[in-house]
């Protein structure tokens, strides 16, 4: 009995089947790699958000040691905006929506603009208040950079 020799048509079908299987494996592998990259980025951003929150809270704690510095005025409004970051991130994660983070970035930038417009950040007559305001400005910069990082936007090092 002679062995069965595949015809050209049968060989073409096997080739197409193998190519389809390889394409499917490539798509699954690419999706897995993308998911792992996304998970690693999310973990890194979460860690950086926690660090930024702690830095912001430390800056606020330093600023509040000066009597009356954050009691009223633009400093208080900016401080309230800064400490909202963890709440905004949590709401965005729960709702699986990023527009809250975008709105927060705009709100924080607006609060900093009002602070910078209305408060003299460096005042030689009041060095303690100037130090507190500089700490608040640094905390704002860190918080805004982390917020933009959550949106995939790189913040400039200097303006």
Nearest to 75 by CA among 144, 145, 127, 129: 129
Q: Is residue 156 part of a domain?
A: no
In this structure, what CATH number is given to the domain that contains residue 119?
1.10.730.10
Contact 146, 85 (CB under 8 A): yes
Q: Is residue 157 part of a domain?
A: no
Structure token digits, residue 108 = 């924080």
Count the domains in the chain: 1
Angle at 128 between CA 73 and CA 136, to 5 degrees: 50
pLDDT score of 158: 65
On the question of pLDDT at 24 being above 90, the answer is: yes
pLDDT score of 11: 64
Per the structure, the complete domain to which residue 83 belongs is given by 10-150
On the question of pLDDT at 63 being above 60, the answer is: no
Q: Is residue 51 part of a domain?
A: yes
On the question of pLDDT at 65 being above 60, the answer is: no
pLDDT score of 1: 63
Q: Is residue 114 part of a domain?
A: yes
pLDDT score of 66: 45
- Percentage of the chain beyond pLDDT 70 is 83
């Amino acid at each position: 009995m002679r062995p069965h020799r595949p015809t050209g048509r049968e060989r073409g079908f096997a080739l197409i089947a193998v190519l389809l299987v390889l394409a499917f494996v490539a798509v699954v592998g690419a999706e897995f790699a993308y998911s792992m990259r996304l998970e690693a980025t999310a973990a890194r951003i979460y860690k950086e958000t926690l660090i930024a929150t702690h830095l912001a809270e430390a800056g606020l704690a330093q600023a509040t040691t000066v009597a009356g510095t954050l009691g009223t005025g633009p400093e208080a409004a900016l401080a309230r905006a800064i400490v909202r970051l963890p709440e905004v991130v949590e709401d965005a994660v729960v709702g699986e929506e990023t527009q809250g983070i975008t709105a927060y970035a705009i709100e924080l930038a607006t609060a900093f603009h009002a602070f910078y417009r209305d408060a003299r950040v460096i005042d030689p007559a009041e060095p303690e208040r100037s130090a507190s305001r500089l700490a608040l400005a640094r905390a704002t910069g860190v918080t805004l950079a982390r917020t933009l990082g959550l949106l995939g936007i790189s913040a400039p090092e200097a303006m």
